[in-house]
Amino acid sequence: MRSMGTRDSTPRLILWLCLGLLILVVGFVQCGVTYDRKALLINGQRRILFSGSIHYPRSTPDMWEGLIQKAKDGGVDVVETYVFWNLHEPSPGKYDFDGRNDLVRFVKTVHKAGLYAHLRIGPYVCAEWNFGGFPVWLKYVPGISFRTDNEPFKKAMQGFTERIVELMKSENLYESQGGPIILSQIENEYGRQGQLLGAEGHNYMTWAAKMAIATETGVPWVMCKEDDAPDPVINTCNGFYCDSFAPNKPYKPTIWTEAWSGWFTEFGGPMHHRPVQDLAFAVARFIQKGGSFVNYYMYHGGTNFGRTAGGPFVTTSYDYDAPIDEYGLIRQPKYGHLKELHKAHVYSSESGDCSAFLANYDTESASRVLFNNVHYNLPPWSISILPDCRNAVFNTAKVGVQTSQMEMLPTNTANFQWQSYLEDLSSLDDSSTFTTQGLLEQINVTRDTSDYLWYMTSVDIGETESFLHGGELPTLIIQSTGHAVHIFVNGQLSGSAFGTRENRRFTYRGKINLHSGTNKIALLSVAVGLPNVGGHFESWNTGILGPVALHGLSQGKRDLSWQKWTYLVGLRGEAMNLAYPTNTPSIGWMDASLTVQKPQPLTWHKTYFDAPEGDEPLALDMEGMGKGQIWVNGESIGRYWTAFATGDCDHCSYTGTYKPNKCLSGCGQPTQRYYHVPRSWLKPTQNLLVIFEEIGGNPSAVSLVKRSVSGVCAEVSEYHPNIKNWQLESYGKGQTFHRPKVHLKCSPGQAISAIKFASFGTPLGKCGSYQEGECHAATSYAILEKKCVGKARCAVTISNTNFGKDPCPNVLKRLTVEAVCSPETSLTSWKP
């Protein structure tokens, strides 16, 4: 329902919620976590809980404490993470909980910060993660069928689930033991898959729930997007909006396990952005309708290091437009506006008195509404929160926090001096190969130990073929199930072809240059992450399954599919461990100046560099390169691909239902140009950087850059909602009006070096392109420069007296500012 934009009307949707009831302590002390229809009860206390997804392997252990603290500072109560089966059990019965896989350390870090944890064991996770989190060896268990009523699958799933639960219990990490874990999840988004499978799907889902409950964790279990979740498991919602969701039983709480803060990126596509006004609107609607637990997916997206990205074609960056960006820096205004939302709900729920939400669902018109004999202005597609049914302390569409402009800046690292090593295509036929009749499925051969599989065969050409005497060259046609292929004919790159995430199957068609006699055709099939969505993972195919055929010969078509093919898993450089510091033989490396003049495919490049000064997050700028993989000191940064993004990046509005293609950026540019290099992976000097380039990029343009705030903008009206203006004890009495302020803050180690724009009045435009409007206080620049320049942070009160006089009486004014942030060491001495 919408509140129409009439001049003076009562909104068509006003919900009064006595939110204080949600956190009343019951009359007896009850340990552990339970629930009722209103909320989770933690030791007998109801809570509205805000949660944020931070996946431990998508950042490094040295980042965890800072990320979790920023989440806490942003008003998050709970940290959510999946548990990634393929990381922890890379081979049957052999477990790995070290480094980025140290789940116990991560959960203890959450506990140390004073937050709760939600452990989504799955063990299917989806998450744009390779093979949906399943270990590939599971595919080869005899008789297995994934995610259905299948004994081999259930046995393996139960074994891993119980292993994780016992690990958590052994460290006393469940809330029932005094730890932080208040929720666990079994399976993941199974509803649609279960419906497709019918009785077998229902039986499997019911079994999974009973199996989980039997582990006796002392905390509730949830199933997301599973309407049939049996008691006592709570069914929950995932999506951009969940205000229409209700649990399947009236005595269960309303939980939103994935409030999508943005969307993932795929190579060849643009970046997706979800306006924070819409995200806040969606969350307020959910709470308004009785929701009591919201998890932002993601709160920090992080990085798909190594070969963990799924999809296929999901980028190495998993930034997700989250409140904390891929590099661990706060994204403003998303972080700050949600923080204000969380504050508003906390005050609402603690009041124990009348609370109200005023909503305007219209996507175009503002609404002026009368409520409790007071007028309120509601922008389109917005909700105002009144914790005392009087003072509007927050509106979802009115953003009062700063916007931070992030840039990749040069470091003091010297230019890279490259050496190169060419893959030796003449030695592909060695002892590591095997030969068989016909084309084989790729993962059955590689077992996902490498992205690369060589398919090699030969073709004999007679001297009388017409193309050898001026006729048209023959055409090679290859049908592949994914994801990419590079075609080499007699050792020379003849062409390449790629699928997409939506259409991983593709056909290559290209003329090839053959000579009389025996010709060698080598097809390098490349995986770009295994699919992560769906069921029956055991039946998925990748690689060249054919047909492969030559057209245009004298005899017509020659089908090569069923002749003898020779196979080689991986690259020679992989077998030689060229990416690792202890395995970089000098034999075969040459000065890269030779390859730069004429870039070659299938080339390894290496260089050494010193760690740059400072503590800003670092990235590799891969400008000039094509497609491949990156390692630093033997740690895999991930896959890179500078494929250019296509899409419509010209339109974006926070109003109206959000979809991933609504607000895009990066069209016409490489989907991902920068690749995160964690500082914890670096030594002070002599860091080894290795790049494998598939199609012939030029490494001379590659550089190490740092991510930093280059400027900040803010725009706040003189009557912006302010949480300080709510004081319960003054309800019904006169009270002092707390004027809003513009707050500006640079990154640590920076200060405001200049005011690029300032106007108190009616300025126009947006951050980066502001202009003065008809009303402008002449003192605007002077006031901002006096209060802010030379400081790391500043606050300026929005009032007529602060700017000398009212520049336009009876007009609603705002203060708009754009400031430049610079390193403190680069500023000349400045005194106030």
Q: What span, in angstroms and rounded, lies between the C-alpha atoms of 100 and 308?
A: 12
Q: Which two tokens stand for residue 806?
A: 């009212």
Would residue 189 show up in a list of annotated catalytic residues for this protein? Answer: yes
Map residue 538 onto helix, strand or coil. helix
Map residue 34 onto helix, strand or coil. strand
Burial of 377 (0-12, 13-18, 19+ CB in 10 A): middle
Q: What span, in angstroms and rounded, lies between the C-alpha atoms of 164 and 168?
A: 6
Name which of 153, 290, 145, 287 is nearest 208 in CA terms: 153
Provide the 8-state DSSP code for 648.
-
Neighbours of 136 (CB within 10 A): 18
Cβ–Cβ < 8 Å for 300, 324: yes
687 forms beta bridges with 609
User: Which pairs from 240-244 meet CB under 8 Å and 24+ separation?
Assistant: 240/274, 240/282, 240/657, 240/658, 240/659, 241/282, 241/285, 241/286, 241/657, 241/658, 242/282, 242/286, 242/291, 243/282, 243/285, 243/286, 243/288, 243/289, 243/291, 244/289
Map residue 687 onto helix, strand or coil. strand
Residue from 128, 226, 258, 693 carrying the catalytic annotation: 258
33 forms beta bridges with 42
Q: What span, in angstroms and rounded, lies between the C-alpha atoms of 168 and 181?
A: 9
Compute the half-sphere exposure of residue 499: CA atoms within 13 Å on the CB side of its CA: 29
Q: What span, in angstroms and rounded, lies between the C-alpha atoms of 551 and 583?
A: 44
> In the chain, helix, strand, coil percent, each to 5?
20, 30, 45
Cβ–Cβ < 8 Å for 749, 824: yes
Burial of 264 (0-12, 13-18, 19+ CB in 10 A): buried
How would you write 197-230 as a 3-class SS string?
A: HCHHHHHHHHHHHHHHHCCCCCCCEEEECCCCCC
Q: What span, in angstroms and rounded, lies between the C-alpha atoms of 204 and 210?
A: 10
Residue from 128, 175, 187, 189 carrying the catalytic annotation: 189
Q: What span, in angstroms and rounded, lies between the C-alpha atoms of 302 and 323?
A: 11
Distances (CA, A) of 402 to 94, 160, 614, 757: 48, 45, 24, 14
Cis peptide before 253 (omega within 30 of 0): no
Decide the pairing of beta strands 45-46 and 49-54.
unpaired
477 forms beta bridges with 509, 549
Compute the half-sphere exposure of residue 676: CA atoms within 13 Å on the CB side of its CA: 24
The residue to which tokens 């068509």 are assigned: 12
Cβ–Cβ < 8 Å for 247, 39: no
Neighbours of 462 (CB within 10 A): 11
Distances (CA, A) of 664 to 79, 264, 455, 653, 657: 28, 12, 38, 11, 15
Decide the pairing of beta strands 394-395 and 382-386.
antiparallel
Q: Which two tokens stand for residue 5?
A: 């934009």
Cβ–Cβ < 8 Å for 743, 784: no
Provide the Cα torsion 418, 419, 424, 430; round to 10°: -120
The residues carrying an active-site annotation are 189, 258
